[in-house]
C-alpha cells in the first residue's frame, strides 16, 4: 500500500497559467480532502469529495478553483489563472469514512508545493 | 472554526522534559478529535485520537486529555526527544466526515 500519492511535489507557474494538482488516495479509501497551507500557518480546509461527488466545498474560493474526484483516476485540484497569492502547499488526505471505520482518521500525502512567479 | 492565518506559536522544551501542547476547539457538537504531527517538508501524521465520551487516552509516550466543558484538548509528550520537533495540530470532527484543524503549535526541543 503506497499511501496517499500526490503529484507533482513541486510546481512552478507564471501568473495567469493553470495549475493541476493530483491526488491518488489510499487503496480502499473513498473520501478525499484538500487542504491549503501557507508557510508557518495552519491547514485550511478547502473541499472534501467522495467518488464523483463534492460533499463540502465551503473552503474553496468561489472563482478559479475547482476539484473533482472521478470514478476512475486521481482527484484533481485545479487552479485557473493563478496569482501570486495562490503560492502555497496543497495537501491531500484520504479516509475510508466514518461509516466504514467508525472514526474519520485522515491519511495525508506529502503535499504539492505551488510557486507562482 | 477554520484554521486562521496566524503565525504559529512556539513551545520550547528541554530535551527529556515533558511537553504539553494545548488546543481550543470551536464546535460543541464535535464528537471526535485527533492530534497530528507535521515535520518540516512533510504531510501531517496521525498521533493519537479521542472520542467525546472519553476524557483521557494514552498512547506510547503521548496522552491526550479532553475537557468538553471548556472545549479544550491537550497533548502531553513524555520525555521529549529531538525527533519530537515538529508542528502539532489538533483536529475536530464537527459533522459527518468533515475534519477541521486548529492553528498548530511548533515544538522546539532545547539540547
Q: Alpha-carbon distance B104 to A107, whole Å?
A: 18
Given this model, what pLDDT does residue B5 score? 41
Asked whether the beta carbons of residue A48 and residue B104 sit closer than 8 angstroms, the reply is: no
Cell 502539532 locates to B88
Q: Look up residue B90 and give its three cell numbers.
A: 489538533
Asked whether the beta carbons of residue B104 and residue A31 sit closer than 8 angstroms, the reply is: no
Instruction: List pLDDT tens digits, range B65-102.
Output: 999 999 999 999 999 999 999 999 999 987 777 888 88
Instruction: List pLDDT tens digits, range B18-67.
Output: 999 999 988 888 889 999 999 998 999 999 999 999 999 999 999 999 99
Q: Measured between CB atoms, which of B43, B46, B99 is closest to A110?
A: B43
Does residue A101 contact residue B94 with C-beta atoms inside 8 Å? no
Given this model, what pLDDT does residue A21 score? 98
Backbone φ, ψ for residue B83 (5° rounding): -70, -10
Given this model, what pLDDT does residue A67 score? 97
Residue in chain B nearest A4 by alpha carbon: B43
| B6 contacts in chain A (CB < 8 Å) | 41-42
B32 touches chain A (CB under 8 A): yes
Given this model, what pLDDT does residue A51 score? 86
Reading phi first (left if > 0) and then psi (alpha if -120 to 50, else beta), residue B67 is in: beta
| B101 contacts in chain A (CB < 8 Å) | 35, 42-45
Q: Alpha-carbon distance A17 to A26, whole Å?
A: 30
Asked whether the beta carbons of residue B101 and residue A40 sit closer than 8 angstroms, the reply is: no
Residue in chain B nearest A5 by alpha carbon: B43
Instruction: List pLDDT tens digits, range A50-90.
Output: 988 999 999 999 999 999 999 889 999 999 999 999 999 99
Q: Which of A5, A41, A48 to mutate to test the interface with B (most CBs of B within 10 A)?
A: A41
Amino acid at each position: 500500500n503506497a499511501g496517499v500519492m500526490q503529484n507533482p511535489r513541486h510546481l512552478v507557474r507564471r501568473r495567469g497559467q493553470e495549475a493541476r494538482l493530483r491526488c491518488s488516495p489510499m487503496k480502499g479509501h473513498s473520501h478525499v480532502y484538500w487542504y491549503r497551507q501557507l508557510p508557518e500557518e495552519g491547514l485550511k480546509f478547502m473541499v472534501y469529495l467522495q467518488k464523483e461527488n463534492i460533499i463540502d466545498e465551503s473552503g474553496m474560493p468561489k472563482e478559479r478553483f475547482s476539484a473533482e474526484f472521478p470514478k476512475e483516476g486521481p482527484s484533481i485540484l485545479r487552479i485557473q489563472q493563478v496569482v501570486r497569492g495562490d503560492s502555497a502547499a496543497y495537501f491531500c488526505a484520504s479516509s475510508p469514512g466514518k461509516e466504514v471505520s467508525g472514526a474519520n482518521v485522515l491519511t495525508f500525502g506529502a503535499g504539492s508545493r505551488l510557486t507562482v512567479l | 472554526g477554520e484554521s486562521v492565518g496566524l503565525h504559529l506559536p512556539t513551545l520550547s522544551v528541554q530535551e527529556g522534559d515533558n511537553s504539553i501542547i494545548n488546543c481550543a476547539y470551536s464546535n460543541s457538537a464535535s464528537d471526535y478529535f485527533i492530534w497530528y504531527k507535521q515535520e518540516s517538508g512533510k504531510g501531517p501524521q496521525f498521533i493519537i485520537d479521542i472520542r467525546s465520551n472519553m476524557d483521557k487516552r494514552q498512547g506510547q509516550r503521548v496522552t491526550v486529555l479532553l475537557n468538553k466543558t471548556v472545549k479544550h484538548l491537550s497533548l502531553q509528550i513524555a520525555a521529549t526527544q529531538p525527533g519530537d520537533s515538529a508542528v502539532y495540530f489538533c483536529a475536530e470532527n464537527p459533522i459527518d466526515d468533515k475534519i477541521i484543524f486548529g492553528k498548530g503549535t511548533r515544538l522546539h526541543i532545547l539540547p
